[in-house]
Amino acid sequence: MKAKLEKLLHYAVLIVVTLVAGWVMWFLSSKEKGSDLAAQEPRPLALVAQQKAPVELLPVSVRQCEIVSTFAGKIRPWETYQIAFEVPGRVQALGTGHRGQELDEGDRVEAGQVLARLDDRVYRAQKSEAAARIELAQSELKRAEEANRNSRTAVSETQVQQFITDLALAKAQHEVAIKNLDDATLEAPVAAAISRRMIKTGESVNAHQMVFELVENDRVLLVVDVPESQVRELENRDRELREQRADPGGAAEFVAHVRMEGRDRFGRPWPAVDGRVHHIAEVADERTGLFQVEIELDNRDGMLRPGMVATADIVTGVVPGYTVPDAAVIFRGREAHLFTVDREPADMEVLYWQLGTTEIHRARRVPLRQWVDLGETVIIPAEDIQIDSVIVRGQYRLADGQIVRPINGAVDGRVDVAEGVN
């Protein structure tokens, strides 16, 4: 029994000594570590492990950018002709179309095609009467000349002069009769379409009474109204292109991209067509105070009709630059800037292990010195900046130099390696 107590006491002493030694060691080590931590700063996180702002990138490259001014207007025919008979009469027949039917509104006619004919019996009779008078006057003049050859006093000079005058008058009446007979047939002066027909077969018409209206619409004009503040820019562009065309080999045209209003049955916009600026008005319209600008459009397919509404993007300049969405540009008063990304290598660390290098993306603020706002897009001249991508989402809360994480999967065709590391 005594041996057991001594043994327990021996174990108790050993346990107490062990606990005291452990406490002393812990106390000394904690004190040393506390002094060391107080003297050292916390170790920063590796770049690949830092929090990254998610952004969406859009690759961009330098290209020839068109600077445009946008205006709306209506389409008008190239020329309008109001056709009338030169002589009065009753309409005997209307011209016929390619299928044999009477000409009507909407039909196309060629130059020289018969539009209508009057009852020309009276004009034919007048032509015959004028021809008979010519024969009579020629006969009387011939007899007078033969009589004077036999006897100089047979016919007086006054009578001979009268015969000559009668012959001239008869010829003039014959020419008038021929013209009246020709005018009884109405022909189309140009290839055009009938926009209005105001007569029917059997109706009587007066001279110079409009009976047909033709529109020449193989080419049409889009007429837009331009304010004074912008017409000078168009005029300068027009003069610049005229000088280029004057040089040998110059073929520059004053281009305008025209978009038709409305959509098809599936809600898709109609295809845009290209035209050229045909004429800039010399004076402003008295009623509106705006300058009318005519844009020539090819309409050989007949898809454009006078009266249609369209919008024209008139190209006022071409510069090498970047085209970016307007959402990518941040405007602050009269200043503007955007964000792009720079790539730089970074060590990939996990705890204390070095796993190699990777690539991180750092946002860079790019101030803009000049730009052209075209509504949905902004053109930035390439002479001011050099970038290969712009941030189009998440840019409003970025700071210059902040690490970002592209979320659109690829940048300039390269997959973002650091996307999955956060």
Distance CA 259, CA 272 (A): 5
- What integer best gives the mean pLDDT of the chain? 85
Q: Which of 129, 130, 119 is nearest to 175 (CA)?
A: 130
Q: Which amino acid is at 370?
A: Q
Identify the weakest region by mean pLDDT among 119-128, 259-268, 315-324.
Answer: 259-268
- pLDDT value, residue 45: 60
Q: What is the DSSP letter of 90?
A: E
What is the token pair recorded at 34?
A: 């506390």
Query: The tokens 């009976």 sit on which residue?
Result: 211
Distance CA 258, CA 302 (A): 16
Instruction: Using only the alpha carbons of the chain, give its radius of gyration.
Output: 47
What SS3 class is residue 273? strand
Cβ neighbours, 10 Å, residue 342? 13
Tell me the mean pLDDT in the region 110-134. 93
In 121-260, beta strands by DSSP E: 185-187, 192-197, 204-205, 210-226, 255-260
Instruction: Flag whether the pTM goes above 0.75.
Output: no
Cβ neighbours, 10 Å, residue 149? 9
pLDDT > 80? residue 91: yes
pLDDT tens per residue across span 375-412: 889 999 998 889 999 999 988 889 998 989 898 754 44
pLDDT tens per residue across span 140-189: 888 887 777 777 667 777 887 888 888 899 899 999 999 999 999 999 99
Tell me the mean pLDDT in the region 313-322. 92
- pLDDT value, residue 14: 75
pLDDT tens per residue across span 27-85: 666 655 555 544 455 556 666 667 788 999 999 999 999 999 999 999 999 999 999 99
Q: What is the DSSP letter of 296?
A: E
Please give the full DSSP string across 135-167, using - where no structure is assigned: HHHHHHHHHHHHHHHH-TTSS-HHHHHHHHHHH
